Amino acid sequence: MSALVTSPFYSYINQNMGRKIAGYLSGAPLIIGWLFIIFGNSIVYFYIARVLMGISLGGVHVFLTMYIGEISEDKIRGALGTIRGLATDVGILFTYCIGPYLSIPALGITC
């Protein structure tokens, strides 16, 4: 839900402040969210981390789509966009595969 709400905000930042600032701003909540998961000791911290990561991923998807479109050649642009989605899916699958065998802080460090 938070990614849905923040995507227009990140789109505005991309257009008016530049791609570099948008990349930095979209990465910061993700790092803070993972720190909440690694060091959090109650469910409230995990909820906060989830919201922060949603905020960040809303920006990452806007930022990466525009960035890949700008830097790639026409003949490989589709492949790069597909690889971005595939990498996301592989990361989710990896987390689901190793998650049952690790504690929450260990999974946060691994991911």
Q: What is the pLDDT of residues 66-97, one digit of tens each?
A: 888 888 888 888 888 888 889 889 999 999 99
Cα 12 from Cα 56, distance rounded (Å): 15
Specify the pLDDT at position 57: 86
Provide the angle, in degrees to the nearest 10, between the axes of the packed helices 43-71 and 2-16. 40
What one-character DSSP code corresponds to residue 2? H
Is residue 73 within a helix (H) or strand (E), and if so which, with residue range? none
Specify the pLDDT at position 74: 85
Q: What is the pLDDT of residues 6-57, one digit of tens each?
A: 888 888 888 888 888 888 888 889 899 999 999 988 999 999 999 999 888 8
